[in-house]
Amino acid sequence: MKRTIFIIFIFLLLLSSCKKNPEVFDLKYNNVSIVEEGLKINIIVNINEEEQKNINYIGMIFGENDDNLSEENTLNNVEINFNALISKYEFIITDIKEEYFNIDFIIKTYVIFKDNNIKYFDTNYIGNLYNLSNNIDLYFPKYIRAYVANKVLKIINLSVNFQEYTIDSLNEDYLADIITDYNYVTITITINEDYFLINDFTFIINDNIIEQNKLDINKTTITYRIEDPNWSDYY
């Protein structure tokens, strides 16, 4: 009886020891989403205690879905300090190029040890920015959807006859209108439905770039109001 109890005690002791320091090195991608700044990734890591002691950083690389992707040929990578006291990390990958908006991408996660050696987790994440952007009413996901649909508007270019108060838009993506009360001329641009005007668009009248601080910009309209040039210099 005593021998049986002793064996059970040893077994429980060994089991307890394994639980305290399991030989694991894995992670879970808890949430991947498009936010205003870029691609946000939340992960939960599970790393054995022995390896935790020697880790300096945890990082991610982003690129086209390719098994050969590494930190040496990645499009984007982010690294943050590793903390053995936490298991949840959040990364945001920014400055993603437009040509990657509608291709399958892969995210690989790794740690950097104190001796500068790198070790990758076996679990990767594969996704598509366009698919992730659906139904999100923020600038960046809206830009992704418009780019894929070829409906991004970067330049408003107008030819205006201020003497006859006529206007021609040099693009079919928007409508232009001009009115005057003979004191002020008001030019109104209406962006066609489904087109997306980027924040840093260029506004041109008769080959002259007009600064954005001179414009009244709404969601789908741009208004430019100046003194009537028939009475004053409009530039």
**Is 85 in the same domain as 30?**
yes
Q: Is the pTM value of this prediction over 0.85?
A: no
Q: Which amino acid is at 100?
A: Y
Residue type, 159: S
CB-count burial class (<10 Å; 0-12, 13-18, 19+) for 47: buried
Co-location of 24 and 122 in the same domain = yes
Q: State the residue for tokens 């910009």.
A: 217
Same domain, 132 and 176: no
Instruction: Look at residue 51 in the predicted model and tell me its pLDDT.
Output: 94
What pLDDT shows up at residue 20? 45
Residue 232 belongs to a domain: no
Residues 94 and 126 reside in one and the same domain: yes
Q: Residue 180 domain-assigned?
A: yes
pLDDT in tens, the chain (235 residues): 545 544 444 444 444 444 445 578 999 999 999 999 999 999 999 999 999 999 999 999 999 888 788 777 787 889 999 999 999 999 999 999 999 999 999 999 999 999 999 999 999 999 999 999 999 999 999 999 999 999 999 999 999 999 999 998 777 889 999 999 989 999 999 999 889 999 999 999 999 999 999 999 988 899 999 999 887 555 4
pLDDT value of position 67:
78
Q: Based on the structure, what is the number of domains in the chain?
A: 2
Please tell me whether residues 73 and 132 are part of one structural domain: yes
Q: Are 191 and 216 in a shared domain?
A: yes
Identify whether residues 74 and 110 lie together within a single domain.
yes
Domain with 33 in it: what CATH number?
Answer: 2.60.40.1930
Residue 5 lies in a domain: no
Residues 28 and 82: their CA atoms lie apart, in Å, by 16
Q: What is the pLDDT of residue 9?
A: 44
The predicted pLDDT at position 72 comes to 75
Contact 77, 28 (CB under 8 A): no
* Of 104, 136, 168, the domain-final residue: 136
| pLDDT score of 161 | 93
Q: Is residue 169 domain-shared with residue 196, that is, in the same domain?
A: yes
Residue 223: the pLDDT is 97
Q: Is residue 174 part of a domain?
A: yes
Last residue of one domain, picked from the residues 108, 136, 164: 136
Residues 102, 191, single domain; the answer is no
pLDDT at residue 114, as a whole number? 96
Which of 103, 136, 169 represents a domain boundary (last residue)?
Answer: 136
Q: Is residue 82 part of a domain?
A: yes
Show the domain range for 77: 20-136
Pair 162, 113 in one domain: no
Residue 168 shares a structural domain with residue 108: no
Q: Give CA separation, 89 vs 43, 44, 65, 76, 209, in Å.
A: 5, 7, 23, 17, 45
- In this predicted structure, what is the pLDDT of residue 130? 97
Are 101 and 189 found together in one domain? no
Give CA 10 to chain center in angstroms.
Answer: 53
